[in-house]
Amino acid sequence: MIRFPQFVYANNGTALQQGNTFNVVKALVASQLLAPNVGITPQFVSNYYFSNKAWSDYNGLIVVLRKRLSQGVQMDFNYTYSHSIDNFSGVANSVGNPFNNAQAVLCDVTNLNTCKGNSEFDLTHQITGDIIYDLPFGKGRSFGRNASRWLNELIGGWQVSSVYTWHTGFAFPVQDGVNTVSFGSTGYPIFNGGSSDIGVGLHPDPSGNGSIQLFSNPAAALSAFSAPTGLQTGTRDELRGPHFSNVDLALVKNFPLWNEKYRLQFRTEAYNAFNHPNFALPSSININGTNFGQITSTSSISGDQSARVLQFALRFDF
């Protein structure tokens, strides 16, 4: 005769410690200690239900400062202060199994407000700026106004430009691998700490494996969360990744030819000109993992490229 409580505790220690009620019920059904119609779907591994329960809300303040072209200089400065909120940020109707994208499944089908949180594409502050400057050298300019044709070919026609981009980190969720309210999405851990506990401060991870640690105090960040139990689930997307910054530079030389209708231009462009690393989100966001908060990759500047890129071009206008 099987003693039910003893059997449950003896065979589901990890799941019970994590509060993973789904796996406990699944194991009991597999052991035929629960009837097939109790706890989980009897016929299928999963049932899909599509609906229009998703929603999002965005508010933003946009500031634009612009200097129109004068004295060979034009500039733009753009600042956005914004906040985007939704109940999930993935695309649920993508091709294939929707559970392949866990964030496309509502975190609590019984209480949609539980899923309310920062959008995973939310950026609180964004700054972009650009400048184009025609250097004041050459014929008719401030320096070398009366330069000969050959001297003008050397010192005239130079232009520098730059684009600067900066924004705060993306929001992202913390996970625990515990199913409490949905088969397709794990319940979020319960946040019991304060904002200082999850403060961002990039530094080499103490493990010595060469990774970067996101949190200023990893121990405090980890202890700020506890696993959900029963039908609990925590809030989503309360964490923030590292900020992003990048500078692109370009140097241009225009060569006037024998007729004003023709021009030869040589361009040198540097993307991520200062070879500044921008780090991606942590590779592990599970509080039960040994590498919680560790970052092992950089975010790309253009396509798959994260390091500095130099580009040269020769252009003929006619």
- Report the 10 Å Cβ neighbour count for 213: 22
How far is CA 241 from its chain centroid? 7
The C-alpha angle 275, 280, 285, rounded to 5 degrees, equals 155
Q: What does the pLDDT read at residue 14?
A: 72
- pTM of the complete model: 0.78
Q: How far is residue 108 CA from its own chain's centroid?
A: 23
As a whole number of angstroms, the distance between CA 305 and CA 308 comes to 8
C-alpha to C-alpha distance for 190 and 180, rounded to whole angstroms: 12
Question: 150 - beta bridge partners?
Answer: none
Q: How far is it, in rounded angstroms, from Cα 71 to Cα 296?
A: 46
Q: What pLDDT does residue 181 have? A: 67
**What is the predicted pLDDT for the residue at 302?**
54
The torsion angles phi and psi of 196, rounded to 5 degrees, stand at -70, -25
Residues 281, 262: Cα–Cα separation, whole Å: 49
Contact present, 55 and 214 (Cβ < 8 Å): no
Closest CA relative to residue 86, chosen from 46, 63, 65, 58: 58
> Do residues 15 and 26 make contact, with C-beta atoms less than 8 angstroms apart?
no
**Whole-number pLDDT of residue 30:** 75
Residue 57 token pair:
């809300």
For residues 203 and 229, the answer to whether their CB atoms sit within 8 Å is no
What value, to the nearest 5°, has the Cα angle with vertex 33 and ends 28 and 34?
75
Beta-carbon contacts of 107 under 8 Å, excluding residues fewer than 6 positions away, are 87, 88, 114, 115, 181, 182, 185, 187, 188, 233, 236
Distance, CA of 171 to chain centre: 7
Within 8 A by CB and 6+ apart from 232, the residues are: 19, 180, 181, 187, 190
Residues 22 and 179 sit within 8 Å (Cβ to Cβ): yes
Q: Where are the beta strands (DSSP E) in 135-243?
A: 158-167, 171-172, 190-191, 200-204, 212-215, 225-226, 239-240
| Alpha carbon distance 251, 256 (integer Å) | 17
Q: What are the pLDDT tens digits along the chain (318 aa)?
A: 456 677 777 777 777 766 666 677 777 777 777 776 666 554 455 556 666 777 889 999 999 999 999 989 999 999 999 999 988 787 655 544 554 544 456 666 667 777 889 999 999 999 999 999 999 988 878 887 888 878 887 888 899 999 999 999 999 988 887 777 665 566 788 999 898 999 999 999 888 788 899 999 999 999 999 888 777 788 888 899 999 999 999 999 988 777 667 888 899 999 999 998 999 999 888 888 888 999 988 887 655 557 889 999 998 888
Confidence at residue 182, expressed as pLDDT on a 0 to 100 scale: 64
Give the residue from 87, 124, 129 showing the smallest Cα distance to 241.
124
Distance (Å) of CA 196 to CA 121, 168, 220, 241, 242: 22, 17, 9, 14, 15
Task: Output the six-digit token pair for 304.
Answer: 């798959």
pLDDT at 84: 95
The packing angle between helices 4-11 and 21-30, to 10°, is 120
